[in-house]
Chain A
Amino acid sequence: DAGVIQSPRHEVTEMGQEVTLRCKPISGHDYLFWYRQTMMRGLELLIYFNNNVPIDDSGMPEDRFSAKMPNASFSTLKIQPSEPRDSAVYFCASSQFALGRPSGGAFFGQGTRLTVV
């Protein structure tokens, strides 16, 4: 299996522009997570899906952030409009089982490094 695939690996955009990050989870995994990593706040869970349905989006910082999962093999995280403080590394992760089960465990993609200038 190719693992969790994220694109692009790097994104540089100007403030005010729309940014779309993409994720392909591991096939057969029912859970998909979006995390953000910054020096100041570490790793933060933004949102997660179960069977393509958003379950908990309480970590999404503002209405400028939105996430979708139109099918089991694809998810997007969109920021519109982007701001410099959104600069971070965004990780997508997937899991076959719920994390709170003994067989749970999240597999992470390589991340998208977003820079908003």
Chain B
Amino acid sequence: AQSVTQLGSHVSVSEGALVLLRCNYSSSVPPYLFWYVQYPNQGLQLLLKYTTGATLVKGINGFEAEFKKSETSFHLTKPSAHMSDAAEYFCAVSDRGANNLFFGTGTRLTVIP
């Protein structure tokens, strides 16, 4: 079964600083990879996904993530944090050809003015 590990349940960055949220998956076959964002009292919104092709994926709100097979990682980054980025971020994986979606435990991002 797939599993997803998000290192750091809480991350704090200063406004304008680099955002780095870590995600590692466990699978011998590269899965499809997703990042979702959840704002307070809201549902989850898809930020970006990797399926095939270019390993650097760009998403909404200036976020991007790079799939690194050798490291089984899919870390989420943003060059400059905005106050509006404060939210909880979930990494998720889906087996190719299957119809499941396994979520990590989430990372709460705080942006300090």
Interface residues, chain A, CB within 8 Å of chain B?
4, 6, 31, 33, 42-43, 45, 48, 50, 55-56, 91, 93, 98-102, 104-111
Contacts and interface: CB of A to CB of B under 8 A. Distances in A.
B94 A104 contact: yes
Interface residues of B, number: 25
Q: Is the interface of B mostly helix, strand, loop or mixed?
A: loop
Given A98-B99, A99-B94, A109-B43, 18 more contacts: A31-B99, A42-B103, A43-B90, A43-B103, A50-B99, A55-B99, A91-B43, A93-B43, A99-B98, A100-B96, A101-B51, A104-B32, A104-B94, A105-B34, A106-B44, A108-B45, A110-B42, A111-B43
B101 A106 contact: yes
A6 B105 CA distance: 23
